[in-house]
Amino acid sequence: MSHALPVEAAPDLGTAVTKSEIARSLAAGVIAGQIAGLIMVGVMATVFTVFLGEGPLYPLQVIGSLLFGDRALSGFRLPSSVAGLVLHQLGPCFFWGGWFGLVTHFFGIHRGSRLLALGIATGVVSQVVDVNLILPVAFQALHGHDIWAERVPAFWSWASHVVFGVGLASFSVVYDYLGAAPSSSLARAR
């Protein structure tokens, strides 16, 4: 008497590649979001120092005021600056970077002017959603007034979000790096 062994289905290589490519795009987007967020912080630090007469960490203090309220803005406050950086990078930069990575994957945009346009569009959408829709409600609920709108001039808020969008174009470099063969990545690291 012979026993039949179950036949395992061969893996669907097309699906595996697609999942791998989605993961690569998502990871590249999240990393690009972190890079773009740091560029944005650098630009805002310069703007606040040169044009608005505040210290370079003041924009981070404004973000940190979401947790600390108005006391985050009286003089230099390292805890509110650190909180602002963490909130900024792990909140909107992480989310919008991931969103950007997924959109690039599904539309097959990995470089060039379309990537830059998508980045700028993402920056504009992040301004509308985060600054114009979410932050007013959050600041009002937590502190009774919109600290961001009071402390960050609208022009500079919009401009910094466009800068964030331009920074998302770093996606192409990160995407290429993540797609490099492991041996060549290891060789580059040496």
Residue 18: the pLDDT is 65
Question: What average pLDDT does the chain have?
Answer: 90
pLDDT in tens, 78-131: 999 999 999 999 999 999 999 999 999 999 999 999 999 999 999 999 999 999
The pTM assigned to this predicted structure is 0.85
CB atoms within 10 A of CB 99: 17
**Domain range list for the chain:** 20-180
Residue 19: the pLDDT is 74
Residue 168: the pLDDT is 98
- Residue 42 identity: G
Lowest mean pLDDT among 29-33, 75-79, 167-171: 75-79
**Per-residue pLDDT for 187 more than 50?**
no
DSSP conformation letters of 131-145: IIIIHHHHHHHHHSS
